[in-house]
Amino acid sequence: MIESKVGGLALDITTNSPVITVSPVNSEKILPIWIGHYEAWAISMEISGIVSKRPLTHDLLLSVIKGMKGKIEKVEITDLKDQTFFARISISANGETIQIDARPSDSLALALKSKAPIFVNESLFDLKKEQMESSGLPDQESLRERLRNINPEDFGNYKL
């Protein structure tokens, strides 16, 4: 696992889907993850520093964890299988650490809200063209072209 950070959030005009990019700290590599609109909205609010008047789902989950004297220790994006990314959230409470299976989008939203570190399986940054295509993802060159077509000002300013 390699420590990573959220690079940006935008709308992929090819698929009309939100895409979040994750990069290793101090690296040019990127991992794009296409996510749902609701999760993109939650992440965008956090990136922009906008606070909801009432708790949204990710706020509620974090409040429940804290209310149970827990802490999100880290989130990890672990794997890609059958066009689906997998992640887990490590939560410590009462002297124990448990790992919860989660979608990367929810994991990233919680990591941003709780200021928890983000880790990514290093092999996901080095997927070969065949692996990308078999998973339904664009290869690095196609990805770079698609990301070039996204207005740079749109990163971090995702809007529904």
- pLDDT score, position 59: 92
Q: From CA 12, how far away is CA 9, in angstroms rounded?
A: 9
**Looking at the domain assignment, is residue 146 inside a domain?**
yes
Q: How many domains does the chain have?
A: 1
Look up the CATH number of the domain holding residue 133. 3.10.690.10
Q: Is residue 159 part of a domain?
A: no
Helix (H) or strand (E) holding 148: helix 140-148
Q: Give the chain's radius of gyration (CA, Å).
A: 16
Pairing of strands 118-120, 70-81: parallel
Q: Which helix (H) or strand (E) holds 71?
A: strand 70-81
Is the per-residue pLDDT at 146 higher than 70?
A: no
Give me the helices (H) in 73-139, please. Answer: 104-114, 129-134
pLDDT of residue 120: 97
Most confident of 14-28, 68-82, 138-152: 68-82
pLDDT reported for residue 51:
87
Amino acid type, 72: I
Q: pTM of the prediction?
A: 0.80
The range of the structural domain enclosing residue 61 comes to 2-154
The pLDDT value recorded for residue 12 is 79
E strand map for 25-153:
31-34, 70-81, 84-93, 96-102, 118-120
For the cut 50, the answer to whether the pLDDT of residue 152 exceeds it is no
pLDDT in tens, 34-82: 999 989 989 998 988 888 899 889 999 999 999 999 999 999 999 998 8
Domain-embedded: residue 160: no
pLDDT for 17 = 86
